Structure 1
Amino acid sequence: MASIALVTSSFWPRPGGVEEHVRRLAVELSRRGHRVAVWSVDRGDDTSGVESAVPDVRVRYLPAPLPTRSLGGVGRFATALPAAWRAWARAARDDAPDLLHVQCYGPNGPWATALAAARRRPLVVGVHGETQGDADAVFDTSALQRRALRTSLARAAAVTACSRHAAADLARFGHDPRRVVVVGNGVELDEPSGPPPPGLPQRYLLALGRVDRVKGFDLLVRAYARAAGAGDLADDLHLVCGGDGPERAAVQELAHHLGVASRTHWTGSLDRGAVVAVMDRAEALVVPSRAEAFGIVVLEAMRAGVPVLATRRGGVPELVQDGVNGLLVDPEDTDRFATALGDVTEPGSRQRLAAAGHRTAVAHTWTAVTDRVEQVYRDVLTTVETHEAAT
């Protein structure tokens, strides 16, 4: 058994695909006898209750300052550097990982890379689509972060990605996509439901995620308004948006402007039990992202027997076969998107897509995901042991 540090850009209590991926992976690896620690970037959140989210797993929240090009930014980084490095070194000493696995490259990436080099431990870099789908477009705007990712990829003993689409984008950072191991997301087939959020309509289409430009909630509202205005949707079929984020107020104003505010409902952020509950009751899940590396909510809908209408931009087509186990659409094609909203809720189509989707979900359990990750770790650690024996 190995000692593993999962070094993630974000974790509990923040909701999201990366956070759920790391949590599930940590619990499953620990169950198999590995000693697992989760090291997340300290973002100042209230982290009380984390012990119940990941039992038997040590969780640390570490400072991860990064320099900027401004003189003030360099000065602040220099001031914060010694204490931050001591925190990372203390984590390495106490948890003694045999291997560090970066999960979603952000401020965690350069720090994990530096620590792995200092401690002479192998580094695995795992990307989850952040090079394309980051709401702040950091890899397009920050030369420092692009250089840091290039360095980490060059030093990594292995690289994982949540989809072939996410892997392909690493070519622009100097890494051969053919050397990337694709490790997708998973789903717990019997995840328990909790209380649903209050005020749910009787029938609704559902969208879940962070409400930012990348996730495309504005595109969904436009298509929903077009379909409702054309009579393609039943009058009692509402739209429920689960999540929160910087674009929420703007999208709510758009719904008001388009005349569908009374049929559009906002739940705010949801815990895991509420996600299951709101999904179980949905007529269909809609994923309108402008870019989506994988889309863990797609699997959650399939598990629930809910048909999926999703973006064809990104890695979702690796999971969803258009017309077979879901429908795919370009979310910026408002007319086609509106038509597809009617198609996915047509009774015959809905039943057929839901049944095929459920069969897909069964093949994507967290057990299968962890099997794949464990094989990466075995290969990396075997290579290290062979090299040490030879020298």
Structure 2
Amino acid sequence: MAGTQSHGTLGAASVEGRPRIALVSSSFAPHVGGVEEHVRQVAHELRSDGWAVEVWSVDRGTGPVVRLVEGTTVRYLPTPLPTGSLGGVARFVRALPDAWRRWRRASREFRPDVIHVHCFGPNGVYALALSRRLRLPLAVTSHGETVADDNAVFERSAVLRTALRRALRRAAAVTAPSTFVLDELRRDHGLSGGDVVPNGVDLSLVGDADRSPFAGRYLLAVGRLGRVKGFDLLVEAMAGLGADAGVRLVIVGDGPELERLRALVAELGLADRVEFAGRLDPAAVADAMAGAVSVVVPSRIEAFGIVALEAWRSGAPLVMTDRGGAGGFVRDGVDGVLVDPLDGAALRAAIVAVVGDERLRADLVAAGRLRVAEFTWARVARAYEERYEAVSGTSGDGARVAGGVER
């Protein structure tokens, strides 16, 4: 990350005639996670194809600045929302004029033709307002934020629920990584239609077991240490396995549940069989997966599960939650073993089956390596490009677009 600026557009050259795309993300670098990776990779692919693209992200401590991140202009914008208290409303009223000026300034400087929201939150509220004000077509991609958020923000925020319903009605295109997410949007938030655009994975990052930072036989779990990810369920399953299973558990990542997980490990007497490795860079994660007996994804709910793609890429046998979107792309017994992680006995049985059967592991690995080729970021970007080209002539309510310039 380099080149902090107060204004201006960086790296926005495009092929003449293609719409200019603002990817409006709930979070971005320096923060890491599934949404951040998705938007980063899509921005890179769009730029490689000659599209003008910027990322507009929520200011989560960076300050309202513009930076060049891996060749893509990123604007960190304030997104104040009202809360239920009088003080919260007063703070919102004071902060709103400056926040709106910054969003309008972003639109004047970049002149987007399509606003594409990723992971609807406060970013989506402002994107919706800008889409209406400038009569710009809106695209919305849900990443499971309405069901797989540890803080249950959509249950607590009437503002977000209302804005999401309005955005889904207005949107010229709505996508999600799985039918599970689309079905939830249809059931609870009034979506009509919608398309699946799966996640992708960087196929150039191939793991090497010989470079794994961990020795011996181990299960690997990777992700943000939040309750939804179900790492506590996996720790409890380890206790039921017993030491004679011959494997230990390595957990890679950090998050709010770390200390609670450490306490659970101590309570269950697993200190010598469970290792917390902290956050690793992507190459080290790939190597760790390549050396694992199995990669286990025990999420209580998983909108998609990029970790599954990473396991396939690195040649790791996969044990995957069946709660959420994984059932739409992981084939049980073929390229992964699907299991309900809330059923402790079933989770233990799935792990035992994979750990104890070398032929099963080899079959899962072979099938996964073939399957992962379907999930490239290039294919994800092409799917979005088709939608941009389809929607850029008219806004969601049929109004002609004026190139992002208010008339």
TM-score range, shorter chain: over 0.9
Checking the alignment, whether the CA contact within 8 Å between 2:21 and 2:114 is kept in structure 1 is yes
Q: Give the counterpart letter for 2:267 in structure 1.
A: H
Structure 2 distance, partners of 1:305, 1:375, is 32
Match of 2:220 in 1: 206
Distance 2:319 2:258 in 1: 21
Q: Following the alignment from structure 2 to structure 1, what is the Cα–Cα distance between the partners of residues 308 and 63?
A: 29
Deviates more, 1:77-86 or 1:261-270: 261-270
Which residue type is aligned with residue 291 of structure 1?
Answer: I
Aligned to 1:30: 47
SS at the partner of 1:200? coil
Residue 274 of structure 1: which of 276, 284, 288 is its match?
284
Structure 2 CA distance for aligned equivalents of residues 249 and 32 of structure 1: 44
- Give unmatched runs, 5+ long, in structure 2: 1-17, 402-407
After superposition, residues 1-391 of structure 1 pair within 5 angstroms as 1-45=18-62, 51=68, 54-55=70-71, 57-171=72-186, 172-176=188-192, 179-191=193-205, 200-228=214-242, 231=244, 233-234=245-246, 237-345=247-355, 346-383=357-394, 388=400
- Shift in Å at residue 275 of structure 1? 2.2
Letter in 1 for 2:322: R
Amino acid at match of 1:354: V
Contact 2:289 2:315 in 1 (8 A): no
- Work out the CA distance in 1 between the residues paired with 2:64 and 2:323: 34
AA in 2 matched with 1:301: A
CA–CA distance in structure 1, aligned partners of residues 232 and 65 of structure 2? 34
Q: CA deviation at 1:353?
A: 0.5
> CA contact under 8 A between 2:42 and 2:377: conserved in structure 1?
yes
C-alpha separation in 1, matches of 2:66 and 2:123: 22
Q: CA deviation at 1:276?
A: 2.0
Deviation of the 1:261 alpha carbon: 1.6
Kindly state the Cα deviation for residue 387 of structure 1 after the two structures are TM-superposed: 5.9
CA, structure 1 residues 120+321, in 2 after alignment: closer, same or farther (shift >3 Å)? same
Quote the offset at 1:378 in angstroms.
Answer: 1.3
Q: In structure 2, how many angstroms separate the alpha carbons of the residues matched to 1:218 and 1:101?
A: 35
Matched letter for residue 226 of structure 2: D
Q: 2:181–2:303: 8 Å Cα contact kept in structure 1?
A: yes
How many residues end up aligned between the 2 structures?
381
The worse-fitting range, judged by mean Cα deviation, of 19-28 and 366-375 is 366-375
Task: After TM superposition, give the deviation of residue 47 of structure 1 in Å.
Answer: 11
Q: Identity over aligned residues, as a percent?
A: 48
Amino acid across the alignment from 2:113: D
CA distance in 2, matches of 1:323, 1:355: 12
Q: Distance in 1 between matches of 2:197 and 2:368?
A: 19
Instruction: Measure the CA separation in 1 of the matches of 2:101 and 2:209.
Output: 43
SS in structure 2 opposite 1:361?
helix
Moved more, 143-152 or 21-30: 143-152
Once the two structures are overlaid, the 10-residue window that deviates more, 159-168 or 183-192, is 183-192
CA-to-aligned-CA distance 1:140-178 (integer Å, 9 cap, x gap): 2222211111111111111111111000001211112xx
> Which structure shows the bigger proportion of residues in helix conformation?
1
| Structure 1 residues 363 and 266: CA distance shift in structure 2, 3 A | same
Other structure's SS at 2:94 match? helix
Measure, in 1, the Cα distance between the counterparts of 2:88 and 2:399: 41
Shift of 1:306: 0.7
With over 3 angstroms needed to count, the CA separation of the structure-2 counterparts of 1:337 and 1:190, relative to structure 1, is same
Secondary structure of the corresponding residue to residue 297 of structure 1: helix
Q: 2:165·2:189 contact (CA, 8 Å) conserved in 1?
A: yes
Gaps spanning 5+ residues in structure 1: where? none
CA 1:352–1:16: 2 relative to 1, 3 Å: same
RMSD: 2.4
Give the structure-1-normalised TM-score: 0.92
Instruction: Give the Cα separation in 1 of the matches to 2:135 and 2:66.
Output: 33
Of residues 302-311 and 374-383 in structure 1, the stretch that sits farther from structure 2 once superposed is 374-383
Q: 2: distance between equivalents of 1:89 and 1:120?
A: 13
8 Å CA contact 1:196–1:274 kept in 2: the answer is no
Q: Distance in 2 between matches of 1:46 and 1:85?
A: 15
- Sort the Cα spacing of 1:361 and 1:39 in 2 relative to 1 into closer, same or farther, 3 A: same
C-alpha deviation, 1:196, in angstroms:
10
Q: Which one has more relative contact order, counting CA pairs under 8 Å at least 6 apart?
A: 2
Alignment-mate amino acid for residue 170 of structure 1? L
